Amino acid sequence: MVGRFKILVVDDELIVRESLVGWLKKGGYQVDTAAGGREAISLLDQKDFDLVFLDIKMPDLGGIEVLKHIRVRYPQTMVVMITAYGSVETAVEAMKSGANDYLMKPFEPEQLTLLVEKLLQQRRIIEENLLLREQVAASEQVRYGDLIGSADCMQRLFDLIEEVAAVDSPVLLRGETGTGKELVAKAIHSKSGRRYGPFIPINCGGFTETLLESELFGHEIGSFTGAVRAKKGRLELAQGGTLFLDEIGEIPLKMQVDLLRVLEEKKFHRVGGTRDIPVDFRLISATHRDLAREIEQRNFRQDFFFRLNVIDIEIPPLRKRKEDVPLLADHFLKKFRRETNKPVEGIEADALELLMSYEWPGNVRELENAMERSVVLAKGRYLRKEDFAFLFRATAVPEEPRSLQEMEKRHIHRTLKSCGWNISRAARILEINRTTLHNKIRKYRLDAVERETDGRP
């Protein structure tokens, strides 16, 4: 590995060149030398170098001038300015001109070792990230709206979305939590003839039966305690557009009957009302449940299922398209770098390997959360494998059997921590509403647990 790195030593003093070359070759590096600035530029224009030791004062052409040439022509090359006449002003000028480091003669072997290893590591990371970005930029087909994926299964999904968008039939999206069902629904809507109409989503699992009925159908004044004004439901709001019913498997049986009637008759009336309201929307629904099993267990109506399942689309889990992990990780890194203004430039290769080896039970949403956490807590310019160790700590050691309540408490606490205690984000991941989450935080005293964990009073 070390032998692949090429280093150029530029100094007009023979003794300096010989001592540096001898030391670097002992370390296994490929080394060339130049006795002046012009010879250095000639060599740089002929060969690629990873690192250049560059004397500041040389008779034919000064080191700062050579440095400026390198920064224009070979910006990724690491440069260490060396001099026997050091001063603060000289060091500042060198660093302002783009030097990566500054070294005073004579050199300490231990200091040289650390410096070369550090700079060549930076060079390697820059190369890897450039390669990754080139791959991302060269692959326009990896993006489809907000969906990202180069895997064959994702390319088939993008093709299917194109076909499905051209018709107006109901669509049922099936996929594990976190696979991006709502993004697929939005993509279908944005490609369809209804794209200029509204896209109205609702998570059917986030409401009680009474509230869900009011949210979907709306209500009239006085239809129940607290109904002080008439309210349009999501069915009305979706007029001319697309209604997205997420977690359709959570809808109570009675409401399945009501919705089936709406789909067949294209009209409904608000809660407490008698006036028929005509509706015209495209229905896309989604579930992570096995609806065939729910039908067998009489939790879901078969006739309703047939009405929803005219077009069936299965969204692949992330573990079945691991080749997309680097693309997605890079996408989320850029997103959270913008949002947090943290100077994180990339991900080290062994950290990417770690992400590729993980099974991602929470799918893309879990990867997004992991990237957000790592960017927020990053200490350097590149994310290291240590920054993702939390993923494996959570699953590496089998836990002793615990009560259902204890498991729920631990899961909610872990989710809140991974989201930096962002209640809205945690509620979305847990697929419960904010009120329910606040109730559970109070029930399990999770805010007190967090203070104790952090050592706060």
Is it the case that residue 261 has pLDDT exceeding 90?
Answer: yes
Summarize the confidence of residues 285-297 as an average pLDDT.
Answer: 91
Q: What was the pLDDT predicted at 404?
A: 78
Alpha-carbon distance of 308 to 285, in angstroms, equals 7
**Domain extents in the chain:** 6-134, 144-308, 319-395, 404-453
Domain spanning 319-395: which CATH class is it, in words? Answer: mainly alpha
Q: What is the pLDDT of residue 453?
A: 47
Q: What is the per-residue pLDDT across 294-316, written as a single tens digit (0 to 9) for each?
A: 999 888 999 999 999 999 999 99
What class, spelled out in words, does domain 144-308 have in CATH?
alpha beta
**CATH topology identical between 6-134 and 144-308:** yes
- 182-219 pLDDT tens trace: 999 999 999 999 999 999 999 998 888 888 999 999 99
Taking only the tens place, the pLDDT of each residue in 101-111 is 888 888 888 88
Other CB atoms closer than 10 Å to residue 426's CB: what's the count? Answer: 23
pLDDT in the model for residue 126: 81
Instruction: Give the number of other CB atoms < 10 A from CB of residue 368.
Output: 21
pLDDT in tens, 57-95: 888 898 999 998 898 888 889 999 988 876 667 777 778
More confident residue, 130 or 295: 295
Measured CA distances, 418 to 367, 368, 412 (Å)? 11, 10, 10
pLDDT at 457: 39
Q: Transcribe 268-281 into DSSP letters.
A: E--BT----EE---
Q: What fold characterizes domain 6-134? A: Rossmann fold (3.40.50)
Q: Residues 126, 75: contact at Cβ < 8 Å?
A: no
pLDDT digits (tens, 9 = 90+) for 140-192: 557 778 898 888 999 999 999 999 999 999 999 999 989 999 999 999 999 99
Average pLDDT, the chain: 86
Judge whether 211 and 194 are in contact, CB under 8 Å: no
